[in-house]
Amino acid sequence: MKKPLTYFLIALILGIVAYNSVYIKKLDDVKKEQTKATFDAKTYANDFFNSKLETVSSTAAADFLNNIKADVKGYSEENGNKLGISTDYYFIIDGNASVVEIEDEYILVTLDDDHQKMKIATDFIFGNAIREGTQMAHIGDYQNTMDYNNISVESNNIVRETILPPFIQKVKKSDSLYFKGAVRLNTKKPKFEDLRVIPLVLKIKK
Amino acid sequence: MTDLKSILVKFQSIIALLVLCVVLTILSDKFFTLENGWNIARQISINVCISVGMTMVILTKGIDLSVGSILAFSGAIAAGLLKYGLEIPSMNTYIGFTVFGAILAGLTVGGGLGVLNGWMITRFKVPPFVATLAMLAIARGATMLWTGGFPITGLGADFAIIGTGWFLGIPMPVWITVIVVVLAVILTKKTKFGRHIYAIGGNESAARLSGININKIKTWVYAIAGILAAVGGIILTARLDSAQPNAGMSYELDSIAAVVIGGTSLSGGRGSIMGTVQGALIIGVLNSGLVLLNVSPFWQQIIKGVVILLAVIMDRLNHPNED
């Protein structure tokens, strides 16, 4: 009499544990739900570049350089975007400029406003600077950090595949151009001479 | 004089810890703060969980090098099941896991690998060092296979509570660690099983002759070490909200260090769970202090190594006749 009771109790406990541990669904239904919920970073980034980029506000490059050099920490905290506790700040700037040099990794330009020099990146493109600068996505909105990272990857691809190639083909020394892009600056060790604009818009003016 | 010496020997870990705290408080105004205290407590909680299991293993004159890998695998299993569940295409069935189920699965895997360690050691007489070294590689490889080499992230708020939540003003990992420590102290000090652990470590032949089932006790001890590594893995995964394939690398060394600094003899049969907690505290306080003092990470490694060496030398000097 004792043994069957023991077995019954063990089975009961196992049953309760199993009931609270797992749930069973039809695999087809789960797949359908997953397909609906799948985040497509490529579409998201394309939508942003096609329809929302124009609305992203930017600071005139000359103003940005003057202000950031005057008070890097204060200006960054007030006007920059950053991810978590990082000391890297991101900004969106724009301006009219003239091409001074065309290097492998960047194009050196002189700003029309006050003739300060800036580099526009043409080789190493950092998608995360675009993502953080434009605030096109917020990490808290993503349960899966891979989705969040993929936005950066896709932004990088768009710049690399659609924005840079036609520009690099045409650009020449002394050309006048309009640019809008993202800039990353580390406030702990700021190196103003190394600032590079990750281009979002590049237009050669006739 | 002998009394004073015996008191100093008995409380050497606590004295070392206090001296360390006083020195660091003088050197850094950020050390002796409540915030830093909770930081240290949270950071050492994983090491304490692993080290409690390691203490039992070392008390039986064994060693478990696989705890870091078991930690990673258990955490990955829990995270993977919670996030993706199990798919059985042939039956068109999906088995989803609740947080409770995922934790249970992680603990079961940890315990299972521990049993496997114990079985290899007792059934085939493989030296513990070799058996657990092999498990270290196997569990790490299994983690890579299970995760595909990528972190499993986004495990949800309910799971994250385990690693980041607070209860009654105390972080959840600290609560879990306190429960683990209390249970382990009761197990080792107040039960027959605990006495058998000490007996096996003290003199295995005598323990066998006195009728203790050595294989059974050892297997259980490795199983407990595996389960506690899994507890550490689940806390770590919850704290990071991701299961990293390379999680827990070299945790076994921190764990052995905590046990040794805490006064447990590598020859087995002597030591205590509370000693190990003190050892883990010393390592945690030292880590925190060195970071606050901006000591280079390279020097940190050297200093920690020297502390471990000093602890063992002190132990040897205090117990010169031990094997």
User: Which residue in chain B is spatially nearest to A18 when comparing CA positions?
Assistant: B101
Alpha-carbon distance of A173 to A112, in angstroms, equals 15
B82 Cα to chain A: minimum distance (Å): 10
Task: Answer yes or no: do B156 and A24 touch at CB < 8 A.
Answer: no
User: Which residue in chain A is spatially nearest to B81 when comparing CA positions?
Assistant: A22
B173 Cα to chain A: minimum distance (Å): 22
Of B93, B101, B242, the CB nearest to A21: B101
Domain ranges of chain A: 2-205
Residue window 141-180, chain A: list those with CB within 8 Å of chain B. Answer: 142-146
The per-residue pLDDT string of chain B (323 residues; one tens digit each, 9 = 90 and over) reads 567 777 777 777 788 888 889 999 998 888 888 888 998 999 899 999 999 999 999 999 999 999 999 999 999 999 999 989 999 989 899 999 999 999 999 999 999 999 999 999 999 999 999 999 999 999 999 999 999 888 888 888 899 999 988 899 899 999 999 999 999 999 999 999 999 999 999 899 999 999 999 999 999 999 999 999 999 999 999 998 889 999 998 899 989 999 998 888 888 888 999 999 999 999 999 989 998 888 888 898 898 888 888 888 887 787 776 65
Contact partners, residue B155, CB within 8 Å, separation at least 6: B79, B82, B83, B237, B238, B241, B242, B243
User: Which residue in chain A is spatially nearest to B85 when comparing CA positions?
Assistant: A22
Alpha-carbon distance of B322 to B273, in angstroms, equals 20
- Chain B residues touching A25 at Cβ < 8 A: 93-94, 96
Contact partners, residue B261, CB within 8 Å, separation at least 6: B13, B278, B279, B282, B283, B307, B308, B311
Considering only CB atoms, which residues of chain B are within 8 Å of chain A? 85, 87-89, 91-98, 100-101, 104-105, 150-151, 153-154, 156, 242
Q: CB-based contact (8 Å) between A37 and chain B? A: no
A18 Cα to chain B: minimum distance (Å): 8
* SS3 state at B244: coil
* SS3 state at A101: strand
Q: Phi/psi at B254 (nearest 5 deg)? A: -60, -40
Higher pLDDT, B156 or A92: A92
Is the ipTM above a cut-off of 0.90?
A: no
**Pick from B310, B52, B30: which is nearest to B197 by CA?**
B52
- Chain B residues touching A22 at Cβ < 8 A: 95-98, 101
In order of their start, the domains of chain B are 31-317 (1.10.3470)
Of A22, A23, A145, the CB nearest to B153: A145
Task: Answer yes or no: do B92 and A28 touch at CB < 8 A.
Answer: yes
Task: Tell me the CATH architecture of domain A2-205.
Answer: Beta Barrel (2.40)
Size of the A and B interface in Cβ pairs below 8 Å: 52
Of A21, A26, A145, the CB nearest to B94: A26
A5 Cα to chain B: minimum distance (Å): 25
Q: Phi/psi at B271 (nearest 5 deg)? A: 145, 175
Model confidence over A165-189: pLDDT tens digits?
A: 999 999 999 899 999 999 999 988 8
Contact partners, residue B262, CB within 8 Å, separation at least 6: B13, B51, B55, B271, B272, B274, B275, B276, B277, B278, B279, B280
Of B94, B98, B101, the CB nearest to A30: B94
Of B87, B92, B97, the CB nearest to A21: B97
The separation between CA B184 and the C-alpha centre of its own chain, rounded to angstroms, equals: 12
pLDDT at B322: 63
User: Which residue in chain B is spatially nearest to A22 when comparing CA positions?
Assistant: B97
Of B89, B91, B153, the CB nearest to A146: B153
- Does the pTM surpass 0.95? The reply is no
Model confidence over A30-43: pLDDT tens digits?
A: 888 877 777 888 99
